[in-house]
Amino acid sequence: MATTTERRTKTLRGQANRPRAGIKPTAPLLPFRAGHGGARPGAGRKPKIPGRPGVEHRQRDPLAKRFPVHVTLKLRSGLPRLRSGREYAALRAAFAAGCARNLSGVFRLCHYAVLNDHLHLICEAEGRTALSRGLQGLLIRIARALNKLWSRRGSVFADRYHDHILKSPREVRNALRYVFGNAKKHAAEGREVTVPQAIDTFTSAPWFTGFRERITVHGIEAIVRPVTDARTWLLTEGWLRHGRISVHEVPVTA
């Protein structure tokens, strides 16, 4: 039978082990075991196209309505080329339908270039949300039109769109030169692209009024205009501070 001293000792020990009022007990620190977390070679989301990095999955920069945007879209591998008569007609019809759908001007497709496996667009929007929604609707139209033409189902674009906000007259002029002359640059590099005319007719160049030279495109009046007028100062007047674009200009960088 426990004595009074032993019972008092047990009581004091129990009180010592109890947490004090208002103080949360803390768990003892355990040694961290080396595992597979943290930065390491090969970590992260794998690219949808092997060997080609995709667009980073990060929060996109805010977009003010006064800035145009240069958007790039890549096709999935293994699909037919876009620079052919039937494919381009389907794309042009989708562009025109998208412009007619966005009569409010919240999202505007102002210029474009069609390459074999990717698209370049110069757009305007009232903000980041308007740009995302406008592009989403346009890409759905394009995918449906091309899948119907190719008698297939499934996704058409390989990854998220890449966008670059154009914040100065110089940036806008460079983007316009890049869009209208990109195919000529590819042709000069020996890629499977040809541009036999003075301007690339697989772009919105036939509807562009900012060339230094006078351009006449026969039969253009019979085609529904696939782009809409720009409204931002940068894309209407600002870029002209650096001079009109010549049909012979070719972008230097890819």
* pTM of the entire predicted model: 0.76
Please provide residue 11's backbone torsions phi and psi, each rounded to the nearest 5 degrees: -65, -45
Q: Check pLDDT > 50 for residue 254.
A: no
* Exposed/middle/buried for residue 207 (C-beta within 10 Å: 0-12, 13-18, 19+): middle
Q: What is the pLDDT of residue 164?
A: 96
**Domains of the chain by start residue, with CATH:** 69-242 (3.30.70.1290)
The tens digit of pLDDT for each residue in 60-93 reads: 788 999 999 999 999 999 999 999 999 999 999 9
Q: What angle do CA 76, 161, 106 make, to 5 degrees?
A: 130
Q: What is the pLDDT of residue 140?
A: 94
The tens digit of pLDDT for each residue in 115-171 reads: 999 999 999 999 999 999 999 999 999 999 999 999 999 999 988 899 999 999 999
Interatomic CA distance for residues 102 and 119, integer angstroms: 20
Give 3-state DSSP helix, strand, coil % of the chain, rounded to 5.
Answer: 35, 15, 50
**Could you tell me where the DSSP H helices lie in 151-239?**
169-188, 233-236
Residue 250 near residue 186, CB atoms below 8 Å: no
